[in-house]
Amino acid sequence: MYQVHYLNKISPKGTALWTEDYKTADELENADAVLVRSASMHEMHLPENLLAVARAGAGVNNIPLTSCAEQGIVVFNTPGANANSVMELALCGMLLGSRDIVGGINWVQTIKGSSEVAKLVEKGKSQFAGHEIRYKNLGVIGLGAIGGPLANSARKLGMNVYGCDPFISIDAAWHLDSHIIRVKNREEIYENSDIISLHVPLMDDTRKMIDAEAISKMRDGVIILNFARDALVDDDAMAEALASGKVKRYITDFPNAKTANMPGCIAIPHLGASTEESEDNCAKMAVSQVMNYLENGNIINSVNFPNCDMGVCHAAGRITLLHKNIPNSLGQFTAAIAGENLNIAGLMNKSRGEFAYTMLDLDHPASEAVVEALKHIDGVIKVRVIK
């Protein structure tokens, strides 16, 4: 019986997937797995028996990834589960930026008490005129689960689309509209786009990528959409660009003290993944990944250990090891097993930075002596007997 603790409300569409082998743990101390959305775990004491943390969403800034790895806790997220939701809001952002819809709505609220609202609207609507997005150039930086479908949708709306993603997967590339113009670097996006949409992770290379220098390379009156990460944009540089008119609109899903008060910025209250469908999809993916790990030892969509999937075990036994990425670790594991005259029926070993994961299928169940021997090998963090 596995126990699961919830740090936030999780969609019942996901929790309905638990089998009779799972029950809710009211206290974190008793949990084998934790499901979380936005709750911060950085100050929490995580019990030794905790095996997995699943974030029902993509971002994992609220989870201490390294300390979890050092404790043998696999952290999962759910990439792509909320992609359509974010993509649709980005489409909305393009329209909000191209036409002064927000300004017009706010203006109507100032005249709603007048008995001549209709006449005032006809007289004053021209101040909120904008332009269509058809035939405009859209530059998409990052062509993954969100950027790729956004680029395809924009093509269907009659836009010219430029895409930049040096790390695009083969699967994502296959699904791109053939008319999307692939460019080699972000500078080409800056130079050719009327609207730029950001869909990249926050890394050293992308932090404040939209700074004064980048903006200087863009077309006058460019519209910039940020539905990826707040820190991709230098707020001070953006404020200056909006004030000068270099940037027509900045639409962000990440309000902060600066953007919430920035003229020309439309700050949306982080609604990208806030749809029922998105929350349902994230919950179902999170639950499925946790069940697969607890029952089969498979790691899919982990953010602190390598992905490793050997399916359902058909051998007599399966052992998994979370360990440091140390040379000759695998040789020591196989030697310990061979010393007990056990045959290895299947093996998978992968590393990710300083951490690694090994799965071993055996022709006979492992003895306690083998398990203890594996636990005492240098660098081993956690050994689990799956079968």
pLDDT classification of 59: cutoffs 50, 70, 90: confident
* Domains of the chain (ranges, CATH numbers): 1-82+273-304 (3.40.50.720), 83-267 (3.40.50.720), 308-387 (3.30.70.260)
135-172, pLDDT tens digit by residue?
A: 999 999 999 999 999 999 999 999 999 999 988 888 88
pLDDT at 387: 92
User: Kindly report the CA angle at 131 between 98 and 244, in degrees rounded to 5?
Assistant: 60
Q: Are strands 355-362 and 317-324 parallel, antiparallel or unpaired?
A: antiparallel
pLDDT at 236: 97
**Cross-strand pairs, 268:** none
User: Kindly report the CA angle at 92 between 89 and 93, in degrees rounded to 5?
Assistant: 90
pLDDT classification of 43: cutoffs 50, 70, 90: very high
pLDDT at 197: 98
Q: Does residue 183 surpass a pLDDT of 90? A: yes
Query: Mean pLDDT over all residues of the chain?
Result: 95
Q: At 42, which helix (H) or strand (E)?
A: none
Go through 352-367 and write b for each residue having 16 or more CB atoms within 10 A of its CB, e for each that does not.
beebbbbbbbbeeebe
Q: At 220, which helix (H) or strand (E)?
A: none
pLDDT classification of 341: cutoffs 50, 70, 90: confident
225-247, pLDDT tens digit by residue?
A: 999 999 999 999 999 999 999 99
Task: Kindly report the length of the chain.
Answer: 387
Q: Does residue 114 surpass a pLDDT of 90? A: yes
Sign of CA dihedral 226, 68, 76, 358: positive
